[in-house]
A and B are shown apart, each in its own frame.
Chain A
Amino acid sequence: MKTSERDLFARLATSRRVLVAFVLLGTLTLVGVFAEIIASPAPIAAFGHRGVALFPGILRASAYESMTRAEIEELHEGDTAVWPLIRYGPIAPTEEGPNASISLAHPLGTDALGRDLAARLVYGARTALGLSLPAVLLGMLLGVGLGGLAGVLRGFWNERLVRLVETVDTFPAIIVVALVRAIERKPSALSLVIAVALVRWAEVARLVRAEVLHASSEEYVLAARALGAPPLRIFRRHILPNAVAPAIMSSATGVASVVLLEAAMSFLQMGAPSRVASWGETLAEGAGDPSRLRLILLPGLLLLITVGASYMLADALRDGIDPRSPNARKRPGES
């Protein structure tokens, strides 16, 4: 087990697809995490007559958001300030007005509501990845737990669990999200995460259960049992490691589908309108006015990169894990 694991990581590390996917996803994650440094009305740091202010845009975000450009200039007059690349936030409309074209202040222009498009796309990365990663992780945890249980249990509860997995697995995700959207008074990212995790776990559980069933009949499990290993230890040491690989693979694809789902939800504008920047929302704006091609192409491209990278990662993982996969490299010693 150990050598093949090391083998797997070595193969993954040298795969060009994995490298490209990691660079793309990593860049987008960094952009999402450090969005305030890239686009914010407040300076990153200011040194001047009021002493040193580090990251005022993060620490006093609401104060800056309500100020106009001139007020901020006045506040920091005479300061030595490091300004972010884009000096606008994603929510407040700028003075340029709606649909301004590309300029130095607005590298990508403004959207239909006069907000800086570049800032919205930067913060959209935070929404997309901040939503999909927790949702997928939560789904994976639930799926591995319940799928493992379904693989180990026998009789009545096994059947109930299988039926549950089958039902949830075929239940349309969009309806779960619609239900959650109807419940909440204010749309929040957390509810979407929970809604997506509620549906996603079933796919992971199905895969894990199949692997657990398969592994349970292997000779090494029988041998472990014959040696007197307790069931929990057999499950943890001998069965679970086999099941984790497909779970991770499905989760990598899951990132793609969650990002697409979030885009679809923002596009459909289900539920109360949200001020949070999202690529799907920008797409919806562009769809409403097809002459503004920028509003469709840019978020579309970003979605393409995110989804493509996570799909590529999943594909590379599958090839690395599954020896039956068509692209799997022949291991040394195999004919």
Chain B
Amino acid sequence: MLRHALRRLLWTLPTLIGISLVTFFLLSFVPDPTDDPAFAASVSADALTHLRRERFLDLPRFVNLAPLDVRIRAAIAVAAVAEGNAGADAGRRELERLGGAALPYVLPRFDALPPEQRTRLALALAPTARRMGLGTPDEVSDPGRAAAFWSRLWDDRGVEFRQASVRSAVSRLVRYGSTTRVADLVELDTFALDDVLGALRVPIDRAEIDRARALTDVAAHVTGRDDRISPGDDGDAARACVERWQAYWAVYRSDFVAFTGPARVAAVLLETRYGKWALGAITHRFGRRPDGGAVLDELGRRAPTTLGIVFAAIVLAYAAAIPLGAISAARRGHRLELVIACVVLGFYVVPTAVVAVVLHRVFGEGSAGIFGAALTLSFALIAAPTGQQRSSLAATLTTDYVVAARARGATMTRATLVHGLRNALLPVLTLAALEAPMALGGAFVAERVFGLHGLGEATIEAVRSRDTGWLMALSIASAGLAAIFVVLSDLLCSLLDVRLGPAMMNRKRSA
């Protein structure tokens, strides 16, 4: 039986991935702030492109059959510069931004170009040379000598543009940290960025802060993104800076890295909006909230309140429903049954908001408010188990063993409690495990009235501010929780009724 439950639990993983895909697809239609024409008009086109890129809106949703990497970007920029037409300016800027990372894809093709295109391209690379600290200013910006400079450079130092040499340079910098090591990396320019930022860890102690400072200095120099850790910064400032760099890298990595071999296959899935979200979810606890905290932490902080209300309400409701159902089954046809049915139905149909407002006056807020909220919620939950208990007990009471017990002289009470209830309880308890997700809506209402800081408050705020990260996390968490409850309820059934155990194993997964 346990094996069966474990297998079911494993099966929830693909289910959760499916849920995340569907939810993500739905949420990809959430209007982004950058879609707003008023906002788009208020910033420059360049800034808007950057903003949209940082929100991954330039990527497709699930599959990216043509992921852009440094190779493709460099080829586009080179073509623009070589043509020398209207796009040349943008191409030059792009080449400057791509920097050293583009050189392995630009310089080998140098000799194949006609002389005047080669000159144009060499001049466009001048800013990169300056940043790398190579060549004299005359050399790189003189139309007569620039092309020769770059050809010579690639012959001499092309061998250094390799993953292995970058990695050892970075590890030397991390281990010894000196200006000459920095110069080594600066000469490789953005080509080293993947390893530099890959080596960047969120610092904990002083030594790690110094290491992070050396790495961010290199990154700031080659990207022109002036975000550094100054020597006087404390741990928090350093950590914030490192996290900013990591966020930057999550967005712009594809500008400086070539996707080759397996990386290219992975990029088909990872260079998508879903891929970026999933990576962030795995590495950063379901991503960041607008206030900087992790979504998972916030979920963990708020869930106990809401789940506490829900479970307390279920316990309260079942504590009332089981006796009520038993009484109405035992007193079938009496007036009492009708009264119970009417009262229970009344509880079900009174809107939770009304009950909440009334009980709020009685209990007020604070810890009594939590009880009040649970009580509020329990009203709506009584009806289903009472009905279930009534019909299941009524069916049990007509079985032969109960009739036999009565014939042997057992009182009605004893027959109901000892022989009937035990067997009738099973379907009712099965229901209990599935009640929690249904009660969530009511819990949100109760939370709002009683002023509790649970999931409901955060969800309403997330809907208002269109915070997709929170909604994704909530959707996956509730689906996961529901799946666990389904498995638990199956397990409970087989424990309570041994006859069901083998049957469940045999029917495999046809729940």
Binding site for B on A (CB under 8 A): 158-159, 162-163, 166-167, 170-175, 178-183, 185, 256, 260-261, 263-264, 267-271, 280, 283-284, 286-287, 290, 296, 300, 303-304, 307-308, 311-312, 324-326
Contacts and interface: CB of A to CB of B under 8 A. Distances in A.
A308 B353 contact: no
B478 A172 contact: yes
A162 B511 CA distance: 7
B77 interface: no
A113 B18 CA distance: 44
Contacts of B115: none
Nearest to A324: B395
Contacts of B466: 182
A194 B371 CA distance: 35
A26 B442 CA distance: 28
A325 B483 CA distance: 30
Nearest to B437: A172
Contact of B353 (A180, A284, A312, A325): A284
B45 interface: no
B482 interface: yes
A332 B440 CA distance: 45
Contact of B510 (A159, A256, A269): A159
Given A268-B445, A311-B349, 17 more contacts: A162-B510, A163-B511, A171-B478, A178-B462, A182-B27, A182-B30, A260-B349, A264-B353, A268-B444, A270-B460, A271-B463, A303-B351, A304-B349, A304-B350, A311-B345, A324-B391, A326-B390
Given A183-B29, A286-B357, A287-B449, A263 B351 contact: yes
Contacts, number: 148
A296 B479 contact: no
A263 B438 CA distance: 15
A182 B434 contact: no
B230 interface: no
A256 B444 CA distance: 19
B353 A159 contact: no
A182 B462 contact: yes
B463 A178 contact: yes
Contacts of B474: 175, 178
Nearest to B356: A287
Contacts of B486: 166, 170
B19 interface: yes
A284 B351 CA distance: 11
Given A175-B475, A308-B345, A170 B482 contact: yes
Contacts of A311: 345, 348-349
Nearest to A261: B441
Contacts of B27: 179, 182-183
A170 B433 CA distance: 10
A268 B443 CA distance: 11
23 contacts: A159-B510, A163-B11, A167-B15, A167-B483, A174-B440, A178-B462, A179-B475, A182-B27, A182-B466, A185-B31, A267-B448, A268-B456, A270-B460, A270-B463, A270-B464, A271-B463, A287-B356, A303-B351, A304-B350, A307-B349, A311-B348, A326-B329, A326-B390
A32 B217 CA distance: 68
B440 A170 contact: no
Contacts of A287: 353, 356-357, 449
B509 interface: yes
B349 A303 contact: yes
A97 B442 CA distance: 33
A174 B329 contact: no
A158 B511 CA distance: 11
Interface in B432-458: 434, 437-438, 440-442, 444-445, 448-449, 456
Prevailing SS type, chain B contact patch? helix
A170 B485 contact: yes
Given A290-B357, A307-B348, A308-B345, A166 B463 contact: no
B64 interface: no
B478 A175 contact: yes
A302 B31 CA distance: 36
Contacts of A304: 346, 349-351
Contact of B351 (A167, A183, A260, A269): A260
Contact of B332 (A170, A179, A303, A326): A326
Interface in B273-298: none
Contacts of B380: 260
Nearest to A265: B441
B468 interface: yes
Nearest to B448: A268
A135 to B, nearest CB: 15
B204 interface: no
Contacts of A172: 437-438, 440-441, 478, 482
A268 B460 contact: yes
Task: Give the one of B348, B468, B509 with max A CB within 10 A.
Answer: B348
Nearest to B439: A172
A286 B437 CA distance: 27
Contacts of B445: 264, 267-268
Nearest to B16: A167
A300 B437 contact: no
Interface in B307-361: 329, 332, 345-346, 348-354, 356-357, 360-361
A260 B445 CA distance: 11
B406 to A, nearest CB: 18
Given A287-B449, A308-B349, A158 B442 contact: no
Contacts of A173: 438, 441
A18 to B, nearest CB: 15
Nearest to B456: A268
Q: Which of B11, B332, B445 has the most CB of A within 10 A?
A: B445
B23 interface: yes
**Top 8 A-B pairs, shortest CB-CB distance:** A174-B441, A170-B482, A307-B349, A172-B440, A300-B354, A326-B394, A172-B437, A267-B353
A312 B338 CA distance: 13
A179 B460 contact: no
A174 B460 CA distance: 11
Given A167-B15, A175-B478, A307-B348, A271 B434 contact: no
Interface string B179-207: 00000000000000000000000000000
A180 to B, nearest CB: 8
Interface centre among B357, B380, B511 (most CB of A within 10 A): B357
A269 B441 contact: no
A170 B483 contact: yes
Contacts of B31: 183, 185
A308 B75 CA distance: 70
A179 B380 CA distance: 24
Contacts of A163: 11, 15, 509, 511
B511 A296 contact: no
Contact of B440 (A175, A290, A303, A312): A175
Interface string B139-180: 000000000000000000000000000000000000000000
A174 B345 contact: no
Contacts of A270: 459-460, 463-464
B26 interface: yes
Contact of B460 (A269, A307, A324, A325): A269
Contacts of B238: none
